Structure formats: C-alpha cells, structure tokens
C-alpha cells in the first residue's frame, strides 16, 4: 500500500505585485512548500505510519521543484520519497494540465489508493486540483476533510460540514483535500532537514507521461472593481453612535 501526498512548490503572494492591467508579477516572490500542503503531509504521515505504508510526495512544477531548498522543504516533512515532474514548460500550464500530470504520476506508483492534497494552493487558491486529479484517476473525491483512517478494505473519512462533521466509509481508492485546521503540522527540525537531502527523489520526464492536450487562452485581465463606500460618520454618545451605525447597516441590508 502506498499513501501519496500532492504538494506544490509555490511563490508567496505576499511578495507579489499587481500591474495596472491586473497582471500579477511574481518575479520577486519567494517560493516554499504551499501553505496548506504541510497539513496534508502530516495527515498522510499519520495514516502511512498506522498502516506501515510508504508515504510518497508527488509534485508537478518547473525546474525549481528539484532545487535543493525545494527538495529539503518537502522531504523534511515526513515523506519517504518523492516523484516529480520538473520542467520549465509547466510554468505556463493551467490547473487541468497540472492535474493530468499528477494523476499520471500517481498511476506510476504501485499500490497507491489514497491521495491527499492541501485545501488550496497559496498562490492561486482555486481549490480545483483534488477534484481534477480524482477525475483523471476515476477515484472518489472529498474536500474539507479533517481526518482519514483505514478500516480493513475501506477508508474512514471525516469531513467538516456546517455545524459539525460527518464520517463516511468509502471503499476503493480516494482523493481527499484536507481542511486548513485538520491538524497542526510539526515544524521540521535540523535532523529532519539533513535527512531529507538523502531521501530518494525520482524525476519523471514529461515525455514519459501520456497527457491530454488542454487548450486555454487568457483573453483579458483586470483589477477587482472598487466598491463605492458611503464613508458615513456618526456622532453623539457611545450608545447613540452604536444605535445609528446598526440602523444604517440594517437600512443597507448589511445586517
């Protein structure tokens, strides 16, 4: 049995800037393992340890994904090994193309029947990869997952829902996207980082994967429309100000 975690070596949007036409400039943004992926890695480590299974990290990215910092940053978080696509052509790919490549990587792994992803990527935040990969693999998919465990020939998936959680028993392979608060991932120590550099990482060439062609053209970009604000000010005693503010919000259907 093999447990797989998909992760992304992504630029931090806090370092990015937006041009006048709405295009995002990532040239000065520092890259790291995407913010929510360590949660999926920690949960994957928990499941793999309980099953005595191997935990494999899968990633599709530019050549930067096999850089020393990228490998150590991922492998130090409990992964046993990695299987990666590292090609600069990926930089221009859309989510569907990335998902197709991730699915192809998972297909190469013997005994893989559980794939975990983070809630979303820190740079795009589209929350689409888990569903897209599941579609290519033909696996079941669940988002907002707070826990997953094995029960014989089934997976016990605990999913966050409005007002609480629900637990499902799923047979067959499954893709789960973890919530941002599923658990608190441990911070890698110096020993973890030093050991990470020695873990095996397989780099798979794009030519070795059978991928579907996906055509996508960005036709335009624009900044978000600015919302008109009333800039109302209220005076009087504290009670009067609060009452006036509440009345104004009621009038505008804010409350």
**157-190 per-position pLDDT tens digit:** 999 999 999 999 999 999 999 999 999 999 999 9
Q: Band the pLDDT of 133: cuts 50, 70, 90.
A: very high
What average pLDDT does range 44-60 have in this prediction?
97
- Give the pLDDT score at 17: 82
Q: Band the pLDDT of 219: cuts 50, 70, 90.
A: confident
- Give the pLDDT score at 58: 98
Is the model's pTM score more than 0.85?
Answer: no
pLDDT above 70: percentage of residues in the chain: 100
- Give the pLDDT score at 129: 94
CB within 8 Å of 98: residues ≥ 6 apart: 60, 90, 129
Q: How far apart are CA 199 and CA 180, in angstroms?
A: 27
**181-205 per-position pLDDT tens digit:** 999 999 999 999 999 999 999 999 9
Cα distances (angstroms) measured from residue 19 to each of 13, 25, 29, 180 = 14, 7, 14, 30
Cα distances (angstroms) measured from residue 69 to each of 35, 56, 76, 164 = 15, 18, 10, 38
14 pLDDT above the threshold of 90: no
Q: What is the 3-state secondary structure (H, E, C) of the chain?
A: CEEEEECCEEECHHHCEECCCCCEECCCCCEEECCCHHHHHHHHHHHHHHHCCEEEEEEEECHHHHCHHHHHHHHCCCCCEEEEEECHHHHHCCHHHHHHHHHHHHHCCCCEEEEEECCCCCCCCCCCHHHHHHHHHCCEEEEEEEEEEEECCEEEEEEEECCEEEEEEEECCEEEEECCCCCCCCCCCHHHHHHHCCCCEEECCHHHCCCCCCCCCCCCCCCCCCCCCCCCCCCCCHHHHHHHHHHHHHHCCCC
11 pLDDT above the threshold of 90: no
* Phi, psi at 223, each rounded to 5°: -70, 155
42 within 8 A of 147, measured Cβ to Cβ: no
212 pLDDT above the threshold of 80: no
Comparing 45-59, 86-100, 158-172, 203-217, the range with the smallest average pLDDT is 203-217
- Give the pLDDT score at 255: 63
Task: Report which of residues 215 and 102 the model is more confident about.
Answer: 102
29 within 8 A of 13, measured Cβ to Cβ: yes
80 within 8 A of 54, measured Cβ to Cβ: yes
pLDDT above 90: percentage of residues in the chain: 71
């Amino acid at each position: 049995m093999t447990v797989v975690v998909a992760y992304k070596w992504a630029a931090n949007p806090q370092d990015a800037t937006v041009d006048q036409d709405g295009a995002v400039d990532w040239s000065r943004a520092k890259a790291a393992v995407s913010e929510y992926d360590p949660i999926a890695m920690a949960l994957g480590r928990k499941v793999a340890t309980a099953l005595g299974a191997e935990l494999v990290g899968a990633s599709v990215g530019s050549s930067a994904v096999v850089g020393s910092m990228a490998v150590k940053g991922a492998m130090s978080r409990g992964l046993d090994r990695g299987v990666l696509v590292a090609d600069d052509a990926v930089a221009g790919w859309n989510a569907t193309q990335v998902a197709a490549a991730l699915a192809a990587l998972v297909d190469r792994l013997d005994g893989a029947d559980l794939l975990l992803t983070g809630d979303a990527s820190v740079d795009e935040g589209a929350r689409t990869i888990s569903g897209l990969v599941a579609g290519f693999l033909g696996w079941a998919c669940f988002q907002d997952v707070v826990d997953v465990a094995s029960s014989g020939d089934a997976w016990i998936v605990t999913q966050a829902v409005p007002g609480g959680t629900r637990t499902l028993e799923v047979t067959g392979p499954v893709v789960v996207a973890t919530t941002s608060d599923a658990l608190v991932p441990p911070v890698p120590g110096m020993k973890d980082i030093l050991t990470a550099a020695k873990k095996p990482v397989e780099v798979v060439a794009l030519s070795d994967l059978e991928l579907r062609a996906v055509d996508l053209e960005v036709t335009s970009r624009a900044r978000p429309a600015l919302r008109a604000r009333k800039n109302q000010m209220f005076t009087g005693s504290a009670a009067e100000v609060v009452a006036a503010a509440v009345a104004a919000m009621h009038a505008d259907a804010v409350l």
